[in-house]
Structure 1
């Protein structure tokens, strides 16, 4: 079980984590929460139902990592000059981004809470046991973390087996690459536990 998720009866998953792994995962999840932002809570006395229908932004984020987490729904970079696709993307973003941000925040919060509960009971490491619902939140958060780190490292499809994975230990990007690869392994084994 060390280093990878295994299926639990009832649809959950478990993984053994040491203190360092718990600390790294928690730190990354907190950083993801900070990147995504706090969200728009209704002001005191405001109608919470009205907040459900609040419109979000219409422009894509300027931060490349956020743009990767919240991509345009229509077209891509090659379609920047297509006014119609930009208009469709803006309209789609306006009505969906707030919900998507809330879901990504929820996923990262589940990770932090699970790790906090685990570290409060374990000395030197422990086995993290997730319910089926928590497993889905973890899968979303692991994916978001990999997308964010991959964007910061400028990983592309052409990088598969490329120089990025053979960096010398002295390269300042090496810890991020190691985290990227580790998160990928965790994500892959979690997907396998969820597969029928």
Structure 2
């Protein structure tokens, strides 16, 4: 089936994307790169040693989508944390968020480059080994971001299938559901 991963006869994975699917996925990944931002090292004149020891922020992002991509390591989501929990979460974030952002950027960029390899047309991609993990990460990040924008909860998810065609959220919901199916198909293809 086009737009979903399948297991190949030789035990690998493949996904056939038509031109529209490839364009949509590429556009979503480019938007993800813009959301995450360039990060340290984006300036060619920056000292590489200083970039290596750069510290990240200590506060959670204000944007709900970024907060979903970079959640606090301590405390419960949506609940007010005490000062000690906030301090621990801030300290953890300071030393980990830049690396996490870099990995998410690398995953999204990997998918963009794979799609660019199709030359603006549809085609078949055959991610193997570590490449599949990059695809999973990039698809998961997109799905989390869109879910945050749609304010999806586990209770709401079934209702997404019943949205009327005129609902302005419908295109985003369709992308959210497709990404979930794509992610699931990749996991199934990897499991064999």
* TM class by smaller structure: over 0.9
State the alpha-carbon separation in 2 of the partners of residues 53 and 192 from structure 1: 39
Which residue of the partner structure matches residue 187 of structure 1? 183
Which residue of the partner structure matches residue 170 of structure 1? 166
Following superposition, the deviation at residue 165 of structure 1 comes to: 2.2
Following superposition, the deviation at residue 12 of structure 1 comes to: 4.2
State the alpha-carbon separation in 2 of the partners of residues 81 and 137 from structure 1: 33
Scaled by the length of structure 1, the TM-score of the pair is 0.90
Which residue of the partner structure matches residue 64 of structure 2? 64
Scaled by the length of structure 2, the TM-score of the pair is 0.92
Checking the alignment, whether the CA contact within 8 Å between 1:139 and 1:190 is kept in structure 2 is: yes
Tell me which moved more, 27-36 or 6-15: 6-15
Are 1:95 and 2:95 counterparts? yes
Following superposition, the deviation at residue 113 of structure 1 comes to: 0.1
Which residue of the partner structure matches residue 18 of structure 2? 18
Query: Cα deviation per residue 1:50-81 (whole Å; 9 max; x = unaligned)?
Result: 32221100000000000000000000245424
Following superposition, the deviation at residue 191 of structure 1 comes to: 1.1
Which residue of the partner structure matches residue 146 of structure 1? 143
Query: Cα deviation per residue 1:121-172 (whole Å; 9 max; x = unaligned)?
Result: x4xx21112122221111000000000000101100111312x321111111
Following superposition, the deviation at residue 20 of structure 1 comes to: 0.3
Give 3-state SS (helix, strand or coil) of 1:14's partner. Answer: strand
State the alpha-carbon separation in 2 of the partners of residues 11 and 48 from structure 1: 41
Note the aligned Cα RMSD (angstroms): 1.9
Give ranges in structure 1 of 5+ residues lacking alignment.
none
